[in-house]
Amino acid sequence: MKQTLSKFESESVRTHSRRAAIAAAAGNVLEGYDIGIYGYSAVILAKLFFSDNGTGALILTFAVFASGYLTKPLGAVLFGHIGDRYGRRLALVTSVLLIGICTVLIGVLPTQASIGISAPILLTILRLLQGIAAGGESSGSAIFMVESAPPAHRGLYGSWQQVSTAGGLLLSSGAIGVLSAVFTQEEIFVWAWRIPFLLAIFTTLGALWLRLGVEETPTFEALEKSDAVVHNPLMVSIKKFWREIVVTIGVA
């Protein structure tokens, strides 16, 4: 009887771990897709959002792209606080929702021909917000995978954070390839360039559905049951683990 119960509990843990890994990976796919879509569309965006049609416009387009990486550390801190204070799942749901909303909004942005200088400004704001969300997404999903994994397989489960992000990049390259094959250059520059960004609606809804359907990590549930959740996790981390933080930043 004990062996049967133990086997049932073990299978339940494995099922939860797999569901958690899939839910976390879904958001990473969206993050990778977002990065790839912008990068592959850079030449198009340069002509639509910047008045200079030469190399300068392309440089500005990639500068806007890079701005998202400037806010990524801020996102890691912000969503890390949310995850430590209110739960890992809430942080993941919020981050993937923000990434998806920003990606879709880029797809409906008026171009510079329509609203002038406001177009690149709005594009930059959306990229900055995407960076914040991506910072929380990449770190939060890895934590969610590892904390939900069986103890003997945490490294394997955590590796899916990078694998799923790469999957999103491949998905974005496929989307751009289909776009180029189906539409003419004129159609792409007039309206079809928006399609890959708008398709993020489906990946976002899929990731949200998966994440809302998965349970909180056992680690955070244990903290809640023992009333060990701190009210200011950022300050506690800095005070108690500042050496580890400095070493980790240096290694990275």
Where along the chain do its domains lie?
A: 14-251
8: pLDDT strictly greater than 50: no
Distance CA 236, CA 246 (A): 15
Band of pLDDT at residue 94, cut at 50, 70 and 90:
very high
Which tens digits make up the pLDDT trace of 40-79?
Answer: 999 999 999 998 777 899 999 999 999 999 999 999 999 9
Provide the whole-model pTM.
0.90
Q: What are phi and psi of 80, to 5 degrees?
A: -65, -40
9: pLDDT strictly greater than 50: no
Q: What is the mean pLDDT of residues 209-223?
A: 91
Band of pLDDT at residue 246, cut at 50, 70 and 90:
confident
In CATH terms, the superfamily for domain 14-251 is: MFS general substrate transporter like domains (1.20.1250.20)
Q: What is the mean pLDDT of residues 135-160?
A: 91
CA angle 11, 13, 18 (to 5 degrees): 95
pLDDT of 252 reads 65
Percent of the chain beyond pLDDT 70?
94
2: pLDDT strictly greater than 90: no
Helices 42-49 and 118-148, axial angle in degrees (round to 10): 150
Average pLDDT, the chain: 90
Q: How far is CA 100 from CA 15, 177, 207, 250, in A?
A: 27, 21, 10, 31
pLDDT of 84 reads 93
Closest CA to 88 of 218, 244, 240, 195: 218
Distance CA 41, CA 55 (A): 15
pLDDT of 151 reads 85
pLDDT of 11 reads 66
Band of pLDDT at residue 236, cut at 50, 70 and 90:
confident
Distance CA 206, CA 106 (A): 19
Whether 229 contacts 87, CB under 8 Å: no
Helices 72-86 and 118-148, axial angle in degrees (round to 10): 40
Band of pLDDT at residue 141, cut at 50, 70 and 90:
very high
Which tens digits make up the pLDDT trace of 155-212?
Answer: 899 999 999 999 999 999 999 999 999 999 999 999 999 999 999 999 999 999 999 9
Closest CA to 126 of 193, 177, 195, 197: 197
Which tens digits make up the pLDDT trace of 10-35?
Answer: 666 678 889 999 999 999 999 999 99
Q: What letter does residue 73 receive in the DSSP assignment?
A: H
